[in-house]
Structure 1
């Protein structure tokens, strides 16, 4: 991802927030047969998952077999793309000036060679993944909960390979109209709130509020 200083995201806390809120990622690697991409859910690492404690942007997850072999898991570098809220921005929202449309977005790219987890570590990560997404449901169905039994869960684990990625390269970008005036930004947010863009994540206006609130606070404004 080409970086632009005006749109660079460097705050690790903000990156962690983005990863937590957007766990469905794209995993890309280059192997003997060329580029390959897979899609899986990941979690931020936790102290209990690693003897050394969680890294600030360390993630854990799993792939189903044979994706581990296809990606050379544990042997080759992976690129993990975390895609946050994004959406189409109409030039009509800029006022009566010459302009073209754009696409606002937030994204984090994590690169490195992942560590392959032991079966027991993988089980803990799988358990956490299920709990993470079931907890919001009215009747959560956890991984170890009946009618699942231990034999079923362990057979499930054997069909997957867990990994921990401590990224050696991080590129994060938050392109949210930082190059526009406050008045134009407020108009864009209002249009997005009103649902004026059919190609926009409904979370995008809040992401813009967050980013521009920080910019205005840095300028000493309320």
Structure 2
């Protein structure tokens, strides 16, 4: 991802927020047969306060990625969307796309069966707990044999990233009044209405005003 000082996202807490809010990740590697990409939900490692992540892949994705032997690139995509040049006013302009993205790279550690089960349990709890009547991993009608049989078809991993590239391209190169106009347009009804992106732009705008990175 091409980096630009104006759009660099360097605050670890903010990067963690993006990962936590958008856990559906793309996992990429350069395999023996060429580039490989897989898609899985990934979580921050609850025992750390850095950018370490945990997750799993289904077999045979572990072999396709050379899991534990080769570098992985894990990509998280935050709110994103189209920005019309008409929102900039009567000035020369072209369309663009605003977005937030985080890239983590490194060679993952393979989890043993017990820790993999704990990560799978966390994944289920993270998403299922929002349901009115949650069906957690170890609850009936599931039994231990069923859970362990399914878990055996997965390979858990922990990635302590050795390279991090995070970017928040949210019109920071525009005057404050233009940014406010874009936020209002994204919040309004229309073909490119995008409240999630408007909220992300508002967060970045407020952080700049407060002197945060």
TM-score (norm 1): 0.93
Match of 1:212 in 2: 205
Q: CA deviation at 1:218?
A: 2.1
Q: CA deviation at 1:202?
A: 3.3
Paired residues for 1:63-102 under 5 Å: 63-102=57-96
Cα deviation, 1:152-179, whole Å, max 9, x if unaligned, reads 0000110000000000000000000001
Match of 2:144 in 1: 150
Distance in 1 (CA, whole Å) between partners of 2:110 and 2:18 is 24
**Quick check: 1:45 aligned with 2:38?**
no
Distance in 2 (CA, whole Å) between partners of 1:127 and 1:213 is 36
Q: Secondary structure at the match of 1:180?
A: coil
Q: CA deviation at 1:39?
A: 0.2
Q: Secondary structure at the match of 1:203?
A: helix
Cα deviation, 1:173-200, whole Å, max 9, x if unaligned, reads 00000011111111111111114343x6
Distance in 2 (CA, whole Å) between partners of 1:27 and 1:133 is 20
Structure 2 residues without counterparts, runs of 5 or longer: none
Consecutive aligned runs of 4 or more in structure 1 exceeding 6 Å deviation: none
Match of 1:134 in 2: 128
Cα deviation, 1:60-82, whole Å, max 9, x if unaligned, reads 00000000000000000000000
How many residue pairs match? The answer is 212
RMSD: 1.2
Match of 1:27 in 2: 27
User: Against the structure 1 CA distance between its residues 197 and 188, is the aligned structure 2 distance closer, same or farther, given a 3 Å change threshold?
Assistant: farther
Q: CA deviation at 1:134?
A: 0.7
Cα deviation, 1:10-38, whole Å, max 9, x if unaligned, reads 00000000000000000000011000100
Structure 1 residues without counterparts, runs of 5 or longer: 48-53
Cα deviation, 1:69-103, whole Å, max 9, x if unaligned, reads 00000000000000000000000000011110000
